[in-house]
Copies of this chain bind each other. A is one copy, B any other.
Amino acid sequence: MTANDLSTINELESCVRSYVRSFPAVFTKARGYKMWDENGKEYLDFFAGAGSLNYGHNEPNMKKKLVEYILDDGITHSLDKATTAKIDFLNKFNNVILKPRDLEYRIMFPGPTGTNTVESALKLARKVTGRTDIISFTNGFHGMTIGALSVTGNSMKRKGAGIPLSHTVTMPYDNFVSEDLDTLEYLERFLEDNGSGVSIPAAIILETVQGEGGINAARFEWIKKVDEICKRWGILLIIDDVQAGVGRTGTFFSFEPAGIKPDIVCLSKSIGGYGLPLALTLIRPDLDQWKPGEHNGTFRGNNHAFITATEALTYWEDPAFEKSVQDKSVTITKFLENMIEKYPEMKGHLKGRGFMQGISSDVDGFSDKVAKNAFKRALIMETAGGHDEVFKLFPPINIDEQGLEQGFKVIEDSIKATVQEMFPTKETVSN
C-alpha cells in the first residue's frame, strides 16, 4: 500500500486550510509527544493541537477507558439528556477541580468548541446585566463566530466577518503601549468619565496569557487589578481559559496565582483530555439565569469526551503533577533565556508563561524561518503574533525530561541554521 500524497487535499479541501501548508505531511499515527506520517517518519509535537493535547496524543489510560466504553455500547450522543458518563464527569470535575480550589460554579455544556463557550458567556453576561457592550483587549483571540469574533483583535480575522462588528470596545492589554504605561489607568478613566463614550459594559473578557496574539502574559497584579475594576463597577469578569487553562500555564486554571474568582470561565481544547471536542462554561451560581434551552447545540452531549475528560482529571488528584509541570516550565524558561543570550542576532525576547512560552524576535521573518527549519528537522512548532514574530513551544504538559531535551536540541539547531541563513557573513557562536 502506497502512502497518500496531498493531492486529494489540494483538489477537494477548501483553500481556507492553513496548518497543512506549514506542515505538509500526511499524518497517520500518534502517541504522547510523537507523531508519524504515512511514510513512517517520526515527528516531535511541540504544538499539541494548539493546546488541545495537553496530555499528549492518545494517552493510554484515556484510550483504554474510551475503547471499553465504545465496546460496551455506552451512549455516544445525548444532546443534554442525562447520561452516566456526564454525571460521572460532573462529579469528578466538582470534586477534583472546583472544590479543592474553593470555587463554586454551575457547569454549562455549550456546543463543543471554544467559540461556542465564548458565545454562551457573552450572551449570558448581556442577559444578566441588561447591558450590551463587552470590553475585550488588544490582541485577544476568542473565536471565529460573529459574537466571539467581535471580541477578537486580529484585523484579518475581523475583516472575514463581512459585516461591521459591534457592541464591543477594545482596551489595551498589559504592556500594550509601553512598559511604563499602566494601561488600566486608561481603562478606568474611560469608565469613570461619563463623557468618555464608553458605557459600563456587561463584561470584560480576558485571556491571562494571549496565545494567538503573541504569547503575551499579563502580570498577575494587572489581572488582579482588572478583577478589582470589575467589582468596583459591577462588571462581570469572563476569563477565557480555552487555551491557557487545563494546566498549560502551570496551574489548572491560569488565573489561580492571581488570586481571583472570575464570574464566568470558558474552557475547551484540553478539557476533553484526548483531543475530542468538548467545551464548558463555568457560571457563578447566582448568574445562572438561563431559561431552559435558551442556548443549545446538537453536540453538547459528546459522551466520548466525557469519558476521556473524566479520566484526564485523575492527573490532578496528585499535587505532584502540577508541581512537575511547573518545574518543567522553569526548564523551558532557562532554555529560552539561554537561546536569547547565545544568539544575539535574533534579538529575542522571552514571552509567556509555563508551557506557553516562546521567543519574540525583532528580526523580520526570523521566527517564521525557525519554525520552518524545525519542521525540516521533524519538529512541529507554530508561530504567533500579528507578524508571526514569535515562535512558541507548546509541548504536552506531561512530556518527560527526555522529550523536552530532544525538542530543545532541534530548536537550537533550527535557530542556529536560521542565524546562518539570515546573517551569512557573521560567524555564529558555536554550540
Contacts and interface: CB of A to CB of B under 8 A. Distances in A.
Interface in A113-148: 113-116, 119-120, 122-123, 125-127, 132-133, 136, 138-140, 143-148
A119 B144 contact: yes
A202 interface: yes
Nearest to A146: B147
Copies of this chain, complex-wide, total 4
Interface-central residue, A17, A138, A387, by most chain B CB under 10 Å: A17
Given A16-B291, A186-B186, 18 more contacts: A12-B90, A12-B94, A12-B106, A13-B106, A14-B109, A16-B288, A16-B292, A17-B80, A29-B72, A30-B73, A76-B275, A111-B144, A119-B146, A125-B162, A126-B163, A147-B147, A163-B167, A277-B299
A196 B170 CA distance: 7
Contacts of A190: 138, 170, 172
A84 B28 contact: yes
A127 B162 contact: yes
Contacts of A57: 73, 75-77
Given A29-B73, A111-B113, A195 B177 contact: no
Contacts of A31: 73
A71 B189 CA distance: 52
A91 interface: yes
A202 B23 CA distance: 34
A27 B76 CA distance: 11
Interface string A73-94: 1111111111110110011001
A82 B164 contact: no
Contact of A107 (B13, B73, B275, B288): B13
26 contacts: A9-B82, A12-B107, A13-B108, A14-B288, A15-B290, A15-B291, A15-B292, A26-B82, A26-B87, A50-B79, A52-B79, A57-B76, A57-B77, A66-B70, A67-B67, A76-B274, A76-B276, A77-B275, A116-B144, A126-B161, A132-B163, A138-B197, A143-B297, A155-B196, A178-B185, A304-B304
Given A76-B30, A290-B15, A294-B157, A172 B197 contact: no
B83 A27 contact: yes
A18 B195 contact: no
Contact of A197 (B12, B79, B140, B298): B140
Range, interface on chain A? 35 or more
Contacts of A365: none
A73 B299 CA distance: 24
Contacts of A133: 164
